[in-house]
Amino acid sequence: MIEYKNAGTAEHPDAGSLTLSEHFVPLGLTEEEMDQLEDFVLNGLNDPHLERYVPTVLPSGNCFPNNDPQSRADLGCN
């Protein structure tokens, strides 16, 4: 996807200027910049400690993260 966006070239021959954004243009990133961007997307957007934000109890008493009947049954929230 990064290489595709960097090239800024439509993949389908019928896609033209009327269907593509004016911002879809070649970016001119170097191989090193694309590698750095890939590393960021794969590793930089992951917080290994994200579980610390999952609440154990909600003030409403509702089931987290969903409170529909099926989710309550699946998650054991009664």
C-alpha span between 21 and 5 (Å, rounded): 12
Read out DSSP for 17-52?
A: TTTS-TT-------HHHHHHHHHIIIIIT--TTGGG
pTM: 0.56
78, pLDDT greater than 80:
no
In this predicted model, what pLDDT tens digit does every residue of 42-56 receive, in sequence order?
A: 988 888 898 899 898
pLDDT at position 32, please? Answer: 98
Whether residue 7 has pLDDT greater than 80: yes
The answer to whether 63 and 72 have CB atoms below 8 angstroms apart is yes
pLDDT in tens, 19-72: 888 899 999 999 999 999 999 999 888 888 988 998 988 999 999 999 999 999
Between CA 42 and CA 77 the distance in angstroms is 34
